[in-house]
Amino acid sequence: MKTAKLFAATAFAAMSGLSVSNAQAAELTLCWAAWDPANALVELSKEFEAESGHTMKFEFVPWPNFADRMLNELNSGGKLCDLLIGDSQWIGGGAENGHYVKLNEFFDKESISMDDFAPATVYAYSTWPKGTPNYYALPAMGDANGWFYRKDWFALPEIQEAFKAQHGRDLAPPKTQAELLEIAQFFQGREIDGQTRYGAAIFTERGSEGITMGATSAMYPFGFKYEMTPGKYDMEGAVNSPEAVAGLEFYKELYKTGTPPGYTDSYMEQSLDAFKSGQVAIAMNWFAFFPGLYADPDIGGDKIGFFVNPGQNKEASTLGGQGISVVAYSENQDAALEYIKWFAQPSVQKKWWDLGGYSCHVSVLNDPGFADSAPFASDFLLAMDGVMDFWQEPAYAELLLAMQKRLHDYVVADQGTAKEALDKLIGDWTETFEDEGKL
């Protein structure tokens, strides 16, 4: 009898094992940008592999080519990616062109509630049309453009003294954009430890999205907005408002008077390089890089400090970050949805934050210990409270390239005035929206 039971149990186990292995035959490919959080996700996903039996493959593309590579993949109906952590601005195109699977039914079935994620991230990373309960992604990686500085240089007595003599206040992380400019100009060309240092590393890149992400970090706090009435595409008076013009003029002044020589085409990598090599006192970059910077043996730890993008007329930061979507052309959609279900669990989200990813889950963000869990955590919360994002329209690439051109022409190439640049931008965008049938 005992033998019979053992035999039956073994047979059952073998059969259930077989059925599991049938369901687990999928090899999932997750596509994302090649950067620090991607490495954290590889580590995190090992747990999913162990739990589900699926195998995970990763396709990480460097940021400058990420949009080109992935949008081409989606537009051609490619099957490379089962899961895609795509930029927030792609959500409109992903939804309207049928590249992303709509997740509403799946969320309902699996009891995944969008109320469990920070509202700003759900709005930015998941919904299309904006703000409607139509979900095409799960918020995966919260991010915003922030700042970091050489805390050790700020603490030097001679530097403190010189700054106070010049500006009549202590040198400290800036509270306004105007203070930020003063600090950048103060460090510009200054000798520290026998070497010439410069003010700030900012984004000026022309080819992809760099200068738009950098300049909007100044323009949003000054009062730049895209439309007078949300959803109406009435850009006159919003895009070229006096506040927007002042914000753009400010960014140009920051570029001209506070950045290292030859800093004409720089984005994330160049900003990190300039900071790590000791060229600059302050630098802008995405929060996603902050854990890596803090852990850096040369410039991290006590030598580095972080601050949220300073306000001016209002508090605002440029949104980064992404949601995770299931690609409609994937042949492994069930397994991909399984991954999303696993990823949405609070315990996994907690581990995601611990490994260096920026969770958008309220259980993580609202944890009383969150703000003190890392030196940049409280700034991250502040930033996410006031994030603003670029157009998320299906024609976003066209809209973005127009802004890249107009901003670079004005800021770096010295062509025309800020008002002219923004007026031309309205012209470009109007043409695009007319082609789209939205105007």
Interacting residue ranges for another protein, rule: CB under 8 A: 68, 71-72, 75, 93, 97-98, 205-207, 260-265, 394, 397-398, 401, 405, 408-410, 412-415, 435
Least separation, in Å, of the C-beta of 235 and another protein? 18
Question: Minimum Å distance from CB 264 to another protein?
Answer: 3
Q: Report how far apart, in Å, the C-alpha atoms of 104 and of each of 114, 118, 245, 337 are.
A: 10, 17, 41, 12
Q: Would you say 52 or 266 has its CB closer to another protein?
A: 266
CB of 266 to another protein, least distance (A): 10
Query: At closest approach, how far in Å is the CB of 323 from another protein?
Result: 20
Contact (Cβ atoms closer than 8 angstroms) between residue 200 and residue 184: yes
Provide the token pair at 380: 């991250």
Residue 319 CA to residue 317 CA, distance in Å, equals 6
Where are any strands of DSSP class E within 234-316? Answer: 280-286, 304-307
Residue closer to another protein, measured from CB, 209 or 379:
209
Tokens of 170: 């202590």
Measured from the CB atom, is 68 or 105 closer to another protein? 68
User: Of 268, 255, 275, which Cα lies nearest the Cα of 207?
Assistant: 268
CB of 118 to another protein, least distance (A): 31
Distance CA 2, CA 407 (A): 80
Instruction: Tell me the angle at which helices 36-52 and 333-343 cross, rounded to the nearest 10 degrees.
Output: 110
C-beta of 436: minimal distance to another protein in Å?
9
Beta carbon nearer to another protein, 36 or 73 = 73
Q: Which residue, 206 or 361, has its beta carbon nearer to another protein? A: 206
* Contacts of residue 244, Cβ cutoff 8 Å, sequence gap at least 6: 219, 222, 223, 224, 225, 238, 422
The tokens for 268 are 């994330």
Cβ 309 to another protein, closest distance in Å? 25
Return the exposure string of 350-362: e unless at least 16 CB atoms fall within 10 Å of the residue's CB, then b: bbbbebbbbbbbb
Q: Which is nearer to another protein, 357 or 394 (CB)?
A: 394
Complex with another protein: residue 36 or 205, whichever CB lies closer: 205
As measured in angstroms, the least distance from the Cβ of 125 to another protein is 21
Of the candidates 250, 268, 107, the one whose C-alpha atom is nearest the C-alpha of residue 203 is 268
CA distance 217 to 41: 27
Q: Which is nearer to another protein, 61 or 362 (CB)?
A: 61
* Distance (Å, whole) CA 175 – CA 183: 11
Please report the DSSP string for 113-127 in residue order: -GGGB-HHHHHHHTB
From the CB of 83, what's the least distance to another protein, in Å? 21
- φ, ψ for residue 77, nearest 5 deg: 65, 30
Whose Cβ is closer to another protein: residue 93's or residue 310's? 93
